[in-house]
């Protein structure tokens, strides 16, 4: 490893790797540090939905950022596949949100109203139309909102391909290397202090440590990032039951292929359990019941796997993105919560722009600013 690197990145999950590859392709020397022995992070446990209209509660900076990212995704995925030689598992097919009670239908209609008024590609469905889009759904779902241009990706394939692309570009990956904190001196930020006591010099430091972002020693102010546990399971199928993403009140379904067999991923819970990543039987049972309520044919299907991951949450559920107002050359790229996979290409582009002397896009700069929680 060189004595000094242009960019030091804390966190080798999807966000850290996406930033590293982008900066390296623009000519910077980049080193990534991660405590895990191989690429993992929250993305390894994620569902892989690329669905900003399904996630945004209203118009605003998050939706603008999400739509920007969605537009980048086809070209970004193609470039990763070309550089790594691996398929990232990107599939179109849309997303269908369904409702069965009067209150749920009203809420879905309100979402449809503002999205349609803004000119987004959204379709309102009555009960027969819901089952024309997804015939396997239970007959009790009385209305739906279809988002036909949304998609999903296989997170584990994606992470493996992105790591391969980063290596091919010349990024120096140091997995199994824990960062203790920032190395700061009278002149400002010098680099990183590693857990083994050694120091690494760098021009910029990017904090992309996910749920652990606020635990880095030496931050100029507390960073309110907390771990939000998400539990999921996968069911094996004899044949595919859904064509796209389906979301109900208690679960969402993601079609996938594992080892050549059709599989359905069921997600995802949210709870504050600290850094505990174990699953619990009651939560998994609730997810399964929610899935079976959507698609009755799932009853009795064998479970392939269950797992949990830690999303990086923030008080306002928005990312923290930009230069730290108290410490020049420290960039935060964290707090993506449920949408790190969707937002990765736009996050990487934003960080590269900042490092090269530009600025965060004004459509979301203030909403994501790292100093917004303490008035800095």
Whether residue 287 is found in the same domain as residue 342 = no
Which of residues 295, 313, 331 is at a domain's end?
A: 313
Do 38 and 15 form a contact (C-beta atoms < 8 A)?
no
Whether residue 55 is found in the same domain as residue 108 = no
pLDDT in tens, 85-141: 999 999 999 999 999 999 999 999 999 999 999 999 999 999 999 999 999 999 999
pLDDT in tens, 217-245: 999 999 999 999 999 999 999 999 999 99
Q: Is residue 141 domain-resident?
A: yes
Q: Is residue 129 domain-resident?
A: yes
Burial environment of residue 206 by CB neighbours within 10 A (0 to 12, 13 to 18, 19 or more): buried
Q: Is residue 84 domain-resident?
A: no
Which of residues 313, 339, 354 is at a domain's end?
A: 313
Whether residue 256 is found in the same domain as residue 362 = no
Whether residue 199 is found in the same domain as residue 339 = yes
Whether residue 268 is found in the same domain as residue 141 = yes
Whether residue 131 is found in the same domain as residue 239 = yes
Whether residue 19 is found in the same domain as residue 142 = no
pLDDT in tens, 328-352: 999 999 999 999 999 999 999 999 9
Within 13 A of 30's CA, how many CA atoms are on the CB side? 28
Rounded Cα distance, 351 and 331, in Å:
7
pLDDT in tens, 192-210: 999 999 999 999 999 999 9
Whether residue 175 is found in the same domain as residue 296 = no
Is the pTM value of this prediction over 0.85? yes
- pLDDT of amino acid 374: 86
Domain containing 52 equals 4-72+156-224+315-368
Whether residue 115 is found in the same domain as residue 134 = yes
Whether residue 160 is found in the same domain as residue 38 = yes
CATH code at position 170:
3.50.50.60
The residues, any chain, with a CB within 8 Å of residue 203's CB and separated by 6 or more, are: 4, 5, 6, 7, 329
Which of residues 313, 339, 357 is at a domain's end?
A: 313
């Amino acid at each position: 490893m060189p004595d000094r690197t242009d960019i030091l990145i804390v966190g080798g999950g999807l966000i850290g790797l996406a930033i590293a590859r982008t900066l390296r392709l623009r000519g910077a020397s980049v080193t990534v540090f991660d405590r895990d022995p191989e690429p993992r992070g929250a993305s390894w446990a994620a569902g892989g939905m690329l669905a900003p209209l399904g996630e945004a509660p209203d118009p605003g900076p998050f939706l603008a950022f999400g739509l920007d990212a969605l537009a980048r995704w086809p070209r970004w995925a193609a470039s990763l596949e070309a550089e790594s030689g691996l398929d990232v598992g990107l599939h179109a097919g849309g997303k269908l949100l369904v409702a069965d009670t009067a209150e749920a239908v009203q809420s879905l209609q309100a979402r449809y109203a503002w999205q349609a008024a803004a000119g987004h590609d959204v379709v309102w469905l009555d009960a027969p139309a819901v089952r024309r889009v997804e015939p396997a759904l239970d007959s009790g779902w009385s209305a739906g909102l279809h988002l036909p241009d949304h998609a999903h990706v296989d997170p584990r394939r994606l992470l493996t391909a992105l790591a391969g692309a980063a290596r091919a570009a010349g990024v120096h990956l140091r997995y199994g290397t824990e960062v203790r904190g920032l190395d700061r001196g009278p002149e400002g930020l010098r680099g990183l202090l590693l857990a083994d006591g050694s120091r690494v010099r760098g021009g910029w430091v990017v904090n992309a440590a996910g749920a652990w972002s606020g635990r880095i020693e030496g931050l100029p102010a507390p960073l309110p990032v907390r771990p939000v546990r998400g539990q999921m399971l996968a069911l094996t199928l004899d044949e595919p039951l859904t064509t796209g993403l389906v979301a109900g009140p208690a679960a969402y379904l993601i079609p996938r292929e594992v080892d050549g067999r059709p599989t359905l991923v069921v997600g995802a819970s949210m709870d504050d359990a600290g850094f505990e990543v174990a699953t619990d039987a009651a939560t998994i049972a609730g997810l399964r019941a929610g899935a079976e309520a959507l698609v009755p044919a799932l009853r009795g299907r064998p479970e392939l796997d269950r797992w949990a991951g830690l999303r990086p949450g923030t008080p306002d559920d928005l990312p923290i993105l930009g230069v730290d107002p108290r410490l020049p050359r420290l960039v935060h790229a964290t707090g993506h919560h449920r949408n790190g996979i969707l937002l990765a290409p736009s996050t990487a582009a934003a960080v590269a722009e900042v490092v090269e002397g530009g600025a965060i896009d004004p459509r979301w700069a203030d909403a994501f600013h790292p100093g917004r929680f303490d008035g800095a």
